Amino acid sequence: MKKVLKNVSILAITLLPNVAFAQLGSVKPPTAGLSTKSLGEMVIGIVNVALGFVTVIALAVIIYGGFRWMTAGGNEESVGEAKKILTAGIIGLVVILIAWVVITFVASSFGGTV
């Protein structure tokens, strides 16, 4: 019985997207790994993913600096080190924001969509 339920659930999960696309009519289902985007759009997508990844890293650095500051226990040396970590994280976020603005501006000036 468990094997039958397992097979039925795998079949249902596999066929569910086809049922959903059957309702849309004019929208085509995604192709199997084939992209219809231009090279510029793909590069912009890759850059956006990379900027998102480094933003997460910068936020993790800021959280780590805040944690270090909260656990410093009044030790001036530890507080100073935590402030340096927080400053580096904030500078990183500012650099990432500037990079995103520049990339968005350049892409839109060349006619690309971001």
Q: pLDDT tens for residues 9-67? A: 776 677 666 655 555 555 565 665 666 777 777 888 888 899 999 999 999 999 999 99
For 97-101, what is the mean pLDDT? 92
CA distance 22 to 85: 53
Domain ranges within the chain, ordered by starting residue:
34-109
Q: What is the DSSP letter of 28?
A: P
CA distance 105 to 112: 10
CA distance 62 to 67: 9
Query: Does residue 85 register a pLDDT over 60?
Result: yes
CA distance 26 to 22: 9
Per-residue confidence (pLDDT) for residue 77, from 0 to 100: 93
Query: Does residue 84 register a pLDDT over 80?
Result: yes
Residue whose structure tokens are 């009044």: 74
For 77-104, what is the mean pLDDT? 93
**Element containing residue 55 per DSSP (H, E):** helix 39-70
